[in-house]
Amino acid sequence: MHELSVCQGLMRQVEKVAAENNARSVELIRLRVGELSGVEPSLLQHAFEIARAGTIAAAAELEIEGGPIVVKCQECGASSAATINRLLCQYCGEWRVNVVEGDELLLLSLEIERD
Amino acid sequence: MCETCGCTITPGNEHLVRKDGKLEHTSGGRASIEVLTGLLQENDHQAAHNREHFERHEVLAINLMSSPGSGKTALLEATIEAIGEEFSIAVVEGDLETENDAERIRAKGVPAVQITTGQACHLDAHMVHDALHEMDLDDIDILFIENVGNLVCPASFDLGHHINVTLLSVTEGDDKPAKYPVMFRAADVMLLTKSDLLDVLDDFDTAKAERHLRELANPAKVMTLSARRSQTLEAWLDWLRQSVEARRSGKEMNPSMQPDGVHQQHPA
């Protein structure tokens, strides 16, 4: 359960961005968490309930978007969807592929209120 | 994950995260601020600092990850016995509690700093940084960081090391890479340990373990060895020698857990 550490790091980043933008409060935090990132969105939501207390984002909502895993084949060049433990090219079955989507762990944006 | 050059944004995900402007206003009158930084930014910043520190001292830093009891400390003991004269080795030990592992390493005449994480299930770059303050890296060739035994959380945290070595003992089951894909995807080297037990275990197929690893698009080198059989360690020791050499030659080395935009596929 490392989601709490991840979330505490997130809150420090949110507070920093909020301060830079003269926010009175943070209302919405948008994240993108890919399946291959190693972070479980539902646990992150639970951790957020704890981590947001007493911060500028105490009343904020956390919106986590996921998305498909996409790999690009190093052999045939095709892009295809893959599952977390079968990162194979759907067209030629090759395992030498690059993950082009699905391992993101990003703070996308904030919505803030200003004075 | 890098906020400096935006390398977390790849051609594959760019359309999902780009907006027209840095700052836009939503219909409710709130200000919307685009951020686009990695969630582990603080850790990654510290990890980059640790990596610079290793490079300044010409130290090869290896992160050992596995489940508890797969033989990380036993491998270190055997490695120290085999090449402790050839290279100067130091160890950072991570456990929830006790100094036991650090004491085992010190008994081999090698400096070891124990990090006790309390309830934390992984090491992070800040913990390693604190441990480095207790250590003189000047004459060290190889620093092993023995992570907390756990096949989940340690995979998410860059420590500033150069190489991830993931151990899978043959008593654990050859499908572990399929069950813990994030961990095994991060491996630059996979060691199948306790191979002396293969004779009495009829349910561990080393070829199958390797196939599950490849299905994670991972070209990592795979070696089968036993810390109790010194003759099985040669490939591992040669690999260590080559890696120290590569580090000394100034070759850039990053673990494959780097974001996919700069993902380095290590040759098998």
The helix (run of H) or strand (run of E) holding residue B225 is: none
Per-residue pLDDT at A53 exceeds 60: yes
Cβ of residue A93 closer than 8 Å to a chain B Cβ: no
pTM to 2 decimal places: 0.88
**Does A81 map to a domain?**
no
Question: How many folded domains does chain A comprise?
Answer: 1
On whether the CB atoms of residues A101 and A65 are closer than 8 A, the answer is no
B262 and A CB contact within 8 Å: no
Enumerate residues 6+ apart whose C-beta is below 8 A from B183: A38, B65, B151, B152, B154, B155, B166
DSSP characters for A1-70? --HHHHHHHHHHHHHHHHHHTTEEEEEEEEEEE-GGGS--HHHHHHHHHHHTTTSTTTT-EEEEE---EE
Residue A11 lies in a domain: yes
Phi first, then psi: give them for residue B116, nearest 5 degrees. -105, 120
Give Cβ neighbours of residue A89 (< 8 Å, ≥ 6 apart): A71, A73, A75, A76, A78, A80, A95, A97
List chain B residues with CB under 8 Å of A37: 156, 182
What pLDDT is stored for residue B23 in this prediction? 53
Q: Does A103 touch chain B (CB under 8 A)?
A: yes
Residues 1-30 of A with CB under 8 A from B: 1-2, 5-6, 9-10, 12-13, 17, 21, 23, 27-28
B14-23, B190-199, B258-267: least confidently modelled range: B258-267
- Is A72 inside a domain boundary? no
Mean pLDDT computed over A2-28: 94
In a domain? residue A56? yes
Is the pLDDT reported for residue B11 higher than 80?
A: no
Chain B from 215 to 254: CB within 8 A of any A CB:
215-217, 219
Tell me if chain A has a CB within 8 Å of the CB of B157. yes
Average pLDDT over residues B117-145: 94
Q: What is the CATH number of the domain that holds A10?
A: 3.30.2320.50
Phi, psi (deg, nearest 5) at residue A7: -70, -35
Strand B89-95 and strand B189-193: pairing? unpaired
Question: How much is the average pLDDT of B6-25?
Answer: 48
Domain membership of residue A89 (yes or no) is no
In chain B, the percentage of residues whose pLDDT exceeds 90 is 76
Q: Please give the order of strands across the beta sheet that includes A61-65.
A: A61-65, A23-33, A105-114, B31-38, B23-25
Residue B19 in contact with partner chain A when CB distance is under 8 A: yes
Structural domains of chain B, ranges and CATH numbers in brackets: 57-257 (3.40.50.300)
Please choose, from the candidates B156, B220, B223, the residue with its C-alpha nearest in 3D space to the C-alpha of residue B183.
Answer: B156
Q: Answer whether residue A79 is part of any domain.
A: no
Cβ of A103 within 8 Å of Cβ of B19? The answer is no
What is the residue range of A11's domain?
3-67+101-114
Q: What is the structure's pLDDT at B253?
A: 86
pLDDT digits (tens, 9 = 90+) for A67-98: 899 999 999 999 999 999 999 999 999 999 99
Is residue A32 in a domain? yes
